[in-house]
Structure 1
Amino acid sequence: MNRYPIWKNLLILVVVVVGFFYALPNIYAPDPAIQISGSSAALEITEGDLQKAEAVLTEQGIDYFGVEFDKSNGLIRLRQQDDQLTAQRKVQASLGNDFVVAVNLAPTTPEWLLNIGAGPMKLGLDLAGGVHFLLEVDTPKVLAEEMESIESYINKHIRKERMRGVDVRVRDNLVTIEAASDEQRVALTSMLRADLSELQYEKVDEGGKYLIRASLSDTYIREKEDYAVTQNLTTLRNRVNEIGVAEPMVQRQGRNRIVVELPGIQDTARAKAVIGKTANLEFRLEADAATLASQRESYPMRDDRQQRLYGDATIEKRPIVTGQNVSNAQVGYDPDTSLPQVSITLDSQGGTLMHRGTRENIKRRMAVLFIEYKTETKRSIDENGEEKITYTQTPESSIISLATIQSALGKSFRITGLENPQAASELALLLRAGALAAPMGFVEERTIGPSLGAENISQGVKSVQIGLALVLLFMLVYYRAFGFAANIALAFNLVLLIAVMSIFGATLTMPGIAGIVLTVGMAVDANVLIFSRIREELENGVPPQTAIKAGFDRAFETILDANITTFIVAIILYAIGSGSVKGFAVTLAIGIVTSMFTAIMGTRAIVNLIYGGRRVQKLWI
């Protein structure tokens, strides 16, 4: 009695050993570092750039080591975390605006652990330090622009149908149409019903006037607001990747707000400038003899080789299609030249405009104009003699390709003439992200320094240690040998919890540490129920081996019910919560699963090893 089969003991042993190896990377603390990358994907880092950065660090007396280099990134590890911000500012000033210098944490996990896919948990904003922004999307402006578009469409229809005496006014998201006759009003309501189904309208007779009052339906307003916020979310998620942050967090909060958290970034102005960065694409015809001087502009070629060969190109001001009409963009390779290309898919409106614009201009050349707003850093000395840094954005436009239109294009076509695969990937990324669907304003911003993050980690670890020590002492004193078994299982539970969070890439935050502390307390609840049941069986005169079996078997349903209800609460918290609440919910949910395994199977396996298959007269419980 009370003996596990060999396969079950082996299963528990394998789970514990695997958990140990995947939790192990978390004991290797990362090194503070600065990361250097190009301001665009086409710009590669050279060894000379890193040597320049090293010279700056040496001049400033900043101790560094472990310089790492590839063509897209450079990493310099620092001895002291307090030197990060100074190193970032000085190196950025030295290298200029063509490079992005960000503070980062460089992993120190041994290569053999990385080879089996083991890595440490990611740290959240409150543990790694960084910046937090709360942005509000200007959804009223989206609705105002929609009403302007509707007004323009109605006026265009009136001109097309040659209706006279019709007046259209828009005010406070309300369209008022005054018709000259009831027949005109009937015709206009038919048009609204057929072409502008998003409007809800009513006919009004007021002072002898034939009026129609129309407004956007509540459903359509919600759809437009959701689209604007969702599109901005997509755009922001892609933009923050340029900062070089390991685990940025961009998520919706409420109806029209977005939270952006950037662990490891300390410069709020720099982060704000990158978040607000815009880039777009325009397809324009090359200017010809018939193009008026006021309707032409000249731009350089993006490829240096083409610029040297052909110089600037003169194109028309009016675009055929812009990046706003791009619904998808994917990187590929030209089968004929093996050079990188971007396959573009336009939305229905963009496809129609492109077909019309190219159908009428076959044999003319069409330019693909890339417009990017780059951040410039300006340093000055204020009246107190302190350095003041400001960031401004200036547009930079260049022509990616200038190709002859061979036939009318539709909604799908290719862009060639890109310098390298990195440039193609960057272009596709920006096009997929698109421009902001609506303006945004910064409602709240705050900075958490790296020293505060380190202090949070220290306090969090101390709280786990104190909680664990108290629980271990209580279980050992109160339940003796059985408490010893529960304590071993509890230690395994912590290992498995950390391993699972590391495997799934969960981000650890201070509320997550609180979840770990709670898990430590909850993990022994199951053992307390089991051990109390065993004591009851012994008091009723049941033999020790039978009492052990009954204690584990009969307490199982109670333990399962209690943990399922708590797990459901954790899922609900994760679904409706945000930020810190999600971090707590993730840790709690994983902790429930691991504690069920260790408290029931793990503890019983240890008890079986101590008492199983033996003649026992008395239990130390």
Structure 2
Amino acid sequence: MPKPFALWKYALIAVVLAAGLIFALPNWYGKSPAVQMQFESLDVASAAATEVNNALAEANLNPVRWEQKDKSLNLLFADTDQQIAAKDLLTPAYPDAVVAINLLSDAPQWMQSFGLDPMSLGLDLRGGVSFLLQVDTQQLFERKSAELIDLTTSTLSDQGLSYLRAEASEQGGALLLFASEDERNAAQDAIFSIVPNTVERLNTTQQGQYGIQLRYTDEGIAAAKRKAAEQNRMQMSGRVDSLGVAEPSIQVVGDDRVLIQLPGIQDVAAAKEILGSTATLEFYLVDEKGDVNQAVRSGRAPFGTKLAYFEDGQPILLKRRVIMSGEHIVDASASYGQEGLPQVNVVLDSAGGAIMSNVTRDNINKPMATMYVEFVPETVAGEDGETTTQMSKREFVVNSATIRGQFSKNFQITGVEPITRARKLAATLRAGSLTTPVYIVEERTIGPSAGKQNIEQGTQASILGLLLVAVFMLLYYRKLGVFADIALTANIILLIALMSVLGATLTLPGIAGIILTLGMAVDANVLIYERIREELHSGLAVREAVRSGFDNAFSTIVDANVTTLIVAILLFSFGAGPIKGFAVTLSVGVLTSMFSAIYVTRALIEWFLLRREQPKLKM
């Protein structure tokens, strides 16, 4: 005979439902558009609070609530129009502060103190902008060719093996030429042992010259693209953080593209500028022995040097070897120096600090140049009339200064003028230089009004679906239908609570997943109730029929929901964007619907029906 419901199960269900209600409650309050201001220190933030409120009051922009947290001010407004107007007012008034727009929770402070926040809303519900960035494969292949050439030529030089020259070839490959077959054969073992397995090695003979052709396999090319895209995705996270965007989505699409979704952002131009910027710094020692004028006249720099120019066109000869580039920069800020000129204050990581310390120690009283490097997208028309985007490298020397003493992690760079350029460069350096240049191939903008309409329509559809399912269960199963409807309500609460706890982002397809979950949630109840009906028709008493119906339907319910959960996991693993949003709510809904249909429904039936001495049930 099936066992009655244990008391500890009642207690566990009560605890889960109470916790679910608490975690889901912040979603009732929602979020409000806000302007966040971050100052240099707590004292500056406290002093600016009164000034900010007075400035907003004069412009008839009254926040519904404001709060100070350490050195930040959070100003919450009734709508996005006031939010944007306040940001436009405060940004020029406080140039030394970071002013960003965001969405902040309206939940009571005690909830926020426990980390209870509403669910994050996706791009299609909040509005915002989406960028699809393309990794510049041409620059990637040029860099891969340079790496192969540097690796092989340095190895040959270290082992005393001679070669004629090395040159780049297509798809990131390299070609090494030798004067004789014996020289090539002598170099083969050294070269073949150091190049990666993803590089093919071929012997060639061209016009009496013997060569070794190195080229990446198709798998190696795809892996290089994916690695570049993944590294850029990680760097883009820092750039998105500098925009002050809440709940951004950054993911690799395909082999060489990065999809960035910025919900709630309004300043699209600023987002494009910071995301598409590829500016970085490179440091070189200046070649004092070479004839710079001769290099300009011939158009060719002496061996081992590089001809560069200041922004005003003045030439300078640099030693070709890069001392250090932007990947070692961990922090940068713009300020005015002692002479009142803009400067960029740079902080290096430990590896960069060690490099700079060694270089400056060994080259005191020698000049060192700082070069500004940037890749700019250019549209090029092909012979067939179609246009393509290519990245054009733009570089110039911002300053050349004599090393007066040894320094390592902290130093200043002058010559970056005006102050706006210095601030832009500092922001880009803080975010990190990109592994490979990228350019925007697609831009999609969704207005806040469209997102609000999606929320309203999705909410209406969810409520309508819930009501229709509830009415059907009441009409068809009567008293048992009441219990199923209560369990269905508990299921919705637990679904919202679990998504809030997991930090999941609710999207429009996610709402579709919730609506689908409403129908699936009662499937288990239908299976159980139909099994109970069969047991009653076979002559069992009400108490035994109900408990037998739950026990016998359990395995069928688990099998059906596990198969659905497997599909949801696969959708999340291989899908992107909207598919992931749907998969998240579907998988979470499967788990909560099983709990509510099997345990919550049975607890209600056991407590309100089977505890009677003579339980009666009509179906």
Shared fold, TM over 0.5: yes
Counterpart selection for 1:357 from 353, 356, 359 = 359
Q: How many Å apart are 1:119 and its aligned residue?
A: 1.8
Structure 2 distance, partners of 1:42, 1:238, is 22
Pair 175,113 (structure 1): closer, same or farther in 2 beyond 3 Å? closer
**Structure 2 residue 609 is the aligned partner of structure 1 residue 611:** yes
Mapped to 2, the partners of 1:47 and 1:610 lie a distance apart of 58
Listed one character per residue, the Cα deviations across residues 460-516 of structure 1 (whole Å, up to 9, x for unaligned) are 111110000001100011001111011111111111111111112111111111111
SS at match of 2:64: strand
Letter in 2 for 1:322: M
Aligned runs of 1:565-584 on 2, under 5 Å?
565-584=563-582
C-alpha distance 443-281 of structure 1, shift in aligned 2 (>3 A): closer
**Superposition pairs for residues 99-118 of structure 1, below 5 Å?**
99-118=97-116
Q: Which residue of 2 aligns with 1:244?
A: 244
- Tell me: CA distance 1:398–1:477, structure 2 relative to 1, closer, same or farther (3 Å): farther
Work out the CA distance in 2 between the residues paired with 1:590 and 1:156: 55
Q: C-alpha separation between the residues in 1 aligned to 2:456 and 2:557?
A: 33
Query: Which residue number corresponds to residue 437 of structure 2?
Result: 439
Q: Within the alignment, does 1:64 sit opposite 2:63 as a pair?
A: yes
Equivalent-residue separation in structure 2 for 1:538 and 1:189 (angstroms): 84
1:144 is the counterpart of 2:142: yes
2:324 corresponds to: 322
Aligned residue number for residue 212 of structure 1: 212
Deviations 1:55-108 (A, max 9, x none): 65445544433233356433222233333333333443x337554433322221
Cα contact 2:371–2:396 (8 A) shared by 1: no
Cα pair distance change 1:133/1:514, threshold 3 Å: same
Q: Distance in 2 between matches of 1:2 and 1:164?
A: 86
Please list, as runs of the form range in 1=range in 2, the aligned pairs for 1:257-406 lying within 5 A after superposition: 257-277=257-277, 280=280, 321-324=323-326, 326=328, 344-346=349-351, 357=359, 360-361=362-363, 404-405=405-406
Q: Distance in 1 between matches of 2:41 and 2:429?
A: 16
Q: Distance in 1 between matches of 2:74 and 2:113?
A: 21
Which stretch of structure 1 is more off in the superposition, 55-64 or 582-591? 55-64
**Are the aligned partners of 1:19 and 1:495 in contact in 2 as well (CA < 8 Å)?**
yes
Task: Look up the equivalent residue of 1:456 and give its one-letter code.
Answer: N
Distance (Å, rounded) in 1 between the aligned partners of 2:563 and 2:369? 58
Q: 1:429 to 1:8 in 2, by over 3 A?
A: farther
Q: In the alignment, residue 581 of structure 1 is paired with which amino acid?
A: I
Q: Secondary structure at the match of 2:221?
A: helix
After superposition, the Cα gap between the structure-2 partners of 1:476 and 1:160, relative to the gap in structure 1 and judged at 3 Å, is closer
Q: What corresponds to 1:20 in structure 2?
A: 21
Q: Contact between 2:329 and 2:347, CA under 8 Å: does it hold in 1?
A: no
Q: Which residue of 1 aligns with 2:5?
A: 4
Given the superposition, is the C-alpha separation of residues 106 and 42 from structure 1 closer, same or farther in structure 2, using an over 3 Å criterion? Answer: same
Q: Does 1:88 align with 2:87?
A: yes
Secondary structure at the aligned position of 1:64 is classed as coil
Counterparts of 1:501 and 1:429 in 2: how far apart (Å)?
34
Distance 1:489 1:114 in 2: 28
Runs (5+) with no aligned partner, structure 1: 299-315, 330-340, 374-392, 407-412, 418-426
TM-score normalised by L of structure 2: 0.77
- The 2-side partners of 1:63 and 1:325 are apart by 43
Cα distance change, pair 163–244 in 1 and its aligned pair in 2 (3 A): closer
| Alpha carbons of structure 1 residues 462 and 180: separation in structure 2 relative to 1, 3 Å | same
Q: Is the CA contact (8 Å cut-off) linking 2:155 and 2:191 kept in structure 1?
A: no
Q: Is the 8 A contact 1:234 1:433 kept in 2?
A: no
Residues 1:293 and 1:108: Cα distance change in structure 2 (over 3 Å)? farther
Q: How many residues align?
A: 557
Higher RCO structure, 1 or 2 (CA under 8 Å, sep 6+): 1
Query: Quick check: 2:371–2:395 contact (8 Å CA) kept in 1?
Result: no
SS at match of 1:454: helix
Closer, same or farther in 2 for the Cα pair 1:446/1:49, shift >3 Å?
farther
Q: Relative to 1, partners in 2 of residues 1:66 and 1:206: Cα closer, same or farther, differing over 3 Å?
A: closer
Aligned 8 A contact 1:130 1:266 in 2: yes
Using a 3 Å threshold, how does the CA distance of structure 1 residues 185 and 293 change in structure 2: closer, same or farther?
closer
Instruction: Give the residue type in structure 2 aligned to 1:73.
Output: S
Find the partner of 2:496 among 495, 498, 501: 498
TM-score, structure 1 as length reference: 0.77
Q: How many Å apart are 1:35 and its aligned residue?
A: 2.4
Task: Quote the Cα distance in structure 2 between the aligned partners of 1:291 and 1:192.
Answer: 33
Deviation at 1:162, TM superposition (A): 8.8
Question: 2:396, 2:473 → 1: CA distance?
Answer: 66
Select the residue among 514, 525, 528 that pairs with 2:512.
Answer: 514
Q: 1:398 to 1:515 in 2, by over 3 A?
A: farther
2:34 — aligned with what? Answer: 33
Matched-pair contact (CA < 8 Å) for 2:495–2:592: yes
**232-241 or 192-201, which deviates more:** 192-201
C-alpha displacement of 1:570: 1.0
More moved, 156-165 vs 106-115 = 156-165
